[in-house]
């Protein structure tokens, strides 16, 4: 065998022993293109958006620009519209075979778009680095009003008011107009309870834009946290889709400092053909997948659970109680907490509760009545220093909740549930501008004859609401009585005196009891705002055997401002 033949055999042997070449993995179809001058295009084969320094000014989907010539597009801002984030750079932070994670950087933090090749929309989240102390922080779309004429939340669905209606109406308040027929146009009619949302957004006959926020632990506030969701922009007609991830629209205060690394999200921004059933199915899929396994953040993935059983000191289980896992050792109400992560649940009939997928950390556990079998419970439960560890079940076992003696009750109007539900005009929808002006100035409620439905959800107009009650006897052991005027919300500008048998014992006023005004009644809230439980001592000698009267007399009134009622109760002490 010649030298050439030996070399050929060696070469063949070498080829035979070598491993076959791996096929090259396909690149994702999702993309980021840098056009220079702080302009980028992101998207996939289904949609794309042109992002400038502040605004995502074009959204191409189904062959059309869905932002349009007058709308602002997509942006992130804090403290209302005062501060829009300015993006200084954009880069692909991570990627897989069919997705990319694009990070837009601003001095305050990083906003991420996780774009999959086959997804109409994107997962989004924000990582804080230097946000200032703030009350409002949001992401949003302002979209073409022709493509998106309708709005949807879990409590309201239908056409957004046409821009032409605003031009023919009179502005009477922030984003509120009165029409010639006396009715109102206001963006606040499109508010809803944040933690009750499944999917919400704006839609038309050929396209829908939806926010789907499973988990919701990055939101501030408790079960009754309300926010503006969608609305018509009154100047240009934009269809506005809000993602208020830290909001104050119906609170007295919720101004927080955030640690470096505090993360909001991920949530899903979802596009479809306007089909609500499809959006609902997508919500169910996302909710089932939360917390997302694909989000490879150590703090996000480090979770445990908390469980326990709430038992009242009189032996009753705390059936249906609202349970809130929030800040430990905090002076803030559950509604006002917002610097970290928060979880809500309701106890079952036996008072048991379990909260799964809680980020590891130290929490405060709060509970209060939610009507039903514990509608008389005036106190709240608090236990601090609840530690949640990774992959551990924190079992708090039986928790004793101290309550007042039910047998000492003289009367009670409405459930102690921090809402006005059950009172006249509180529904059917929880938002309507000016509804509080429809409540009477004068009202007489007779204990034993009247019902909670005869009491109204709010009080604002000049006049006297009187409660007549009969005492068959006065306990010798009683040192007096305590009056509870529990408010589901309070907007300053309306004042009242509280009188028992014509003697003043207190008043409802921001000056008198240091009530901080919340943004509820004048923004059309009818069921909840920020709860306060005001308590007043009633001297024993003020009460008598036979007929007695409690008056709540409004002496000063400001239109659309006043308070939402939770409950009025009197008991012996």
Give CA–CA dist 272/544, Å, rounded.
Answer: 67
Give CA–CA dist 440/567, Å, rounded.
Answer: 18
Three state DSSP letters for 314-330: CCCECCCCEEEEECCCC
Q: In sequence order, what DSSP letters do the residues of 204-251 get, joined into one string?
A: -SS-EEEEE--S-TTS-S-TT-EEE-EEE-TTT-PEEEEEEEE--TT-
Q: For residue 30, what are the CA distances in angstroms to 43, 112, 123, 176?
A: 6, 14, 13, 42
Q: Which two tokens stand for residue 63?
A: 């062959």
Q: Which residues 6+ apart lie within 8 Å of 21 measured at CB? A: none
Given a cut of 80, is residue 3 above it in pLDDT?
no
Residue pair 125/112 in contact by the 8 Å Cβ criterion:
yes
Q: Which two tokens stand for residue 85?
A: 């984030």
**R_g over Cα of the chain:** 29
Give me the residue label for tokens 């073409």: 144
Strand 303-312 vs strand 393-401: parallel, antiparallel, or unpaired?
parallel
| pLDDT confidence band for 86 (50 / 70 / 90) | very high
Q: In sequence order, what DSSP letters do the residues of 47-99 get, joined into one string?
A: EEEEE-SS-EEEEEETTEESSTTT--EEEEEETTTTEE----EEEEEEE-SSE
Range in 8-12, 61-65, 493-497, 568-572 with the lowest mean pLDDT: 8-12
- Segment 244-265, tens digit of pLDDT: 999 999 998 789 999 999 999 9
Residue pair 237/145 in contact by the 8 Å Cβ criterion:
yes
Q: Which residues 6+ apart lie within 8 Å of 487 measured at CB? A: 508, 531, 532, 533, 534, 563, 564, 565, 566
Q: Could you name the CATH architecture of 31-299?
A: Distorted Sandwich (2.70)
Residue pair 570/469 in contact by the 8 Å Cβ criterion:
yes
| Residue ranges of the chain assigned to CATH 2.60.120.260 | 406-572
Give CA–CA dist 121/144, Å, rounded.
Answer: 17
The phi, psi pair for 222, rounded to 5°, reads -105, -155
The chain-wide mean pLDDT, for the chain, equals: 94
* pTM (predicted TM-score): 0.93
Mean pLDDT, rounded, for 41-69: 97
Q: What is the CATH number of domain 302-401?
A: 2.60.40.10
Mean pLDDT, rounded, for 558-564: 97
In percent, how much of the chain has pLDDT > 90? 92
- Segment 462-481, tens digit of pLDDT: 999 999 999 999 999 999 99
| pLDDT confidence band for 370 (50 / 70 / 90) | very high
Q: What is the CATH number of domain 406-572?
A: 2.60.120.260
Residue pair 145/232 in contact by the 8 Å Cβ criterion:
yes
Closest Cα partner for 328 from 358, 362, 300, 302? 362
| Residue ranges of the chain assigned to CATH 2.60.40.10 | 302-401
* pLDDT for res 511: 72
| pLDDT confidence band for 13 (50 / 70 / 90) | very low
Give me the residue label for tokens 């208020």: 244
| Residue ranges of the chain assigned to CATH 2.70.98.10 | 31-299
DSSP state of 373: G
Given a cut of 80, is residue 1 above it in pLDDT?
no
| pLDDT confidence band for 228 (50 / 70 / 90) | very high
Give CA–CA dist 335/530, Å, rounded.
Answer: 7
Closest Cα partner for 42 from 100, 97, 96? 100
Q: Which residues 6+ apart lie within 8 Å of 352 measured at CB? A: 307, 308, 309, 310
Given a cut of 90, is residue 2 above it in pLDDT?
no
b/e code 256-272 from CB counts within 10 Å (16+ = b): bebeeebbbbbbbbbbb
Distance of CA 63 to the CA centre of its chain: 34
Closest Cα partner for 201 from 272, 266, 288, 289? 272
- Segment 495-529, tens digit of pLDDT: 999 999 999 999 999 876 668 899 999 999 999 99
* pLDDT for res 23: 53
Mean pLDDT, rounded, for 411-429: 97
**Cis before 266? omega within 30:** yes
- Segment 310-323, tens digit of pLDDT: 999 999 999 999 99
Mean pLDDT, rounded, for 425-439: 96
- Segment 377-417, tens digit of pLDDT: 999 999 999 999 999 999 999 999 999 999 999 999 999 99
**Cis before 291? omega within 30:** yes
* pLDDT for res 253: 79
Residues in the chain: 573
Higher pLDDT, 450 or 27: 450
């Amino acid at each position: 065998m010649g030298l050439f033949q030996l070399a050929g055999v060696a070469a063949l042997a070498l080829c035979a022993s070598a491993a076959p070449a791996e096929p090259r993995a396909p690149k994702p179809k999702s993309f980021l293109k840098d056009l220079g001058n702080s302009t980028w295009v992101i998207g996939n084969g289904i949609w794309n958006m042109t992002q400038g320094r502040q605004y995502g000014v074009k959204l191409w989907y189904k062959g059309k620009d869905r932002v349009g010539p007058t709308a602002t597009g997509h942006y992130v801002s804090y403290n209302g519209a005062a501060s829009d984030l300015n993006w200084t750079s954009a880069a692909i932070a991570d990627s897989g075979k069919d997705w990319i994670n694009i990070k837009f950087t601003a001095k305050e933090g990083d906003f991420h778009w996780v774009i999959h090749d086959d997804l109409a929309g994107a997962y989004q989240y924000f990582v804080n680095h230097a946000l200032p102390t703030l009350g409002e922080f949001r992401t949003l779309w302002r979209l073409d009003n022709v493509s998106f004429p309708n709005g949807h939340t879990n409590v309201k669905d239908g056409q957004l008011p046409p821009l032409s209606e605003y031009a023919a109406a009179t502005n009477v308040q922030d984003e509120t107009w009165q029409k010639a027929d006396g009715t109102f146009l206001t963006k606040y009619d499109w508010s809803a309870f944040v933690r009750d949302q499944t999917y919400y957004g704006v839609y038309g006959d050929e396209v829908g834009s939806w926010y789907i926020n499973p988990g919701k632990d990055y939101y501030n506030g408790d079960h009754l946290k309300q926010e503006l969701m969608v609305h018509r922009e009154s100047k240009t007609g934009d269809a506005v889709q809000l993602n208020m991830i830290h909001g104050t629209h119906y609170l007295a205060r919720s101004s927080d400092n955030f640690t470096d690394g505090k993360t909001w999200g991920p949530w899903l921004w979802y596009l479809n053909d306007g089909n609500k059933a499809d959006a609902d199915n997508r919500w169910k899929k996302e909710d089932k997948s939360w917390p997302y396994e694909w989000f490879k953040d150590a703090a996000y993935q480090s979770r445990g659970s908390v469980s326990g059983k709430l038992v009242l000191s009189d032996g009753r289980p705390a059936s249906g109680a609202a349970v809130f896992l929030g800040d430990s050792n905090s002076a803030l109400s559950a509604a006002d907490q917002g610097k970290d992560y928060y979880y809500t649940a309701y106890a079952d009939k036996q008072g048991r509760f379990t909260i799964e997928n809680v980020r590891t950390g130290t929490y405060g556990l709060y509970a209060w009545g939610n009507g039903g079998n514990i509608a008389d419970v005036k106190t709240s439960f608090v236990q601090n220093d609840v530690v949640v560890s990774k992959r551990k079940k924190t079992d708090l076992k039986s928790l004793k909740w101290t309550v007042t003696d039910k047998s000492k009750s003289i009367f009670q109007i409405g459930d102690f549930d921090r809402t006005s539900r059950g009172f006249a005009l509180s529904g059917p929808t929880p938002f309507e501008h000016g509804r509080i002006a429809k409540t009477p100035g004068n009202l007489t409620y007779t204990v034993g004859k009247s019902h909670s439905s005869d009491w109204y959800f709010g009080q604002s107009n000049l006049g006297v609401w009187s409660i007549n009650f009969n005492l068959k006897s006065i306990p010798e052991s009683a040192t007096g009585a305590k009056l509870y005027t529990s408010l589901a919300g309070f907007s300053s500008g309306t004042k009242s005196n509280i009188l028992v048998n014509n003697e003043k014992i207190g008043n409802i006023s921001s000056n008198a009891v240091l009530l901080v005004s919340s943004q509820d009644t004048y923004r059309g809230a009818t069921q909840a705002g920020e709860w306060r439980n005001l308590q007043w001592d009633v001297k024993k000698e003020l009460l008598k055997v036979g007929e007695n009267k409690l008056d709540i007399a409004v002496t000063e009134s400001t239109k659309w401002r006043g308070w939402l009622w939770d409950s009025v109760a009197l008991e012996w002490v």
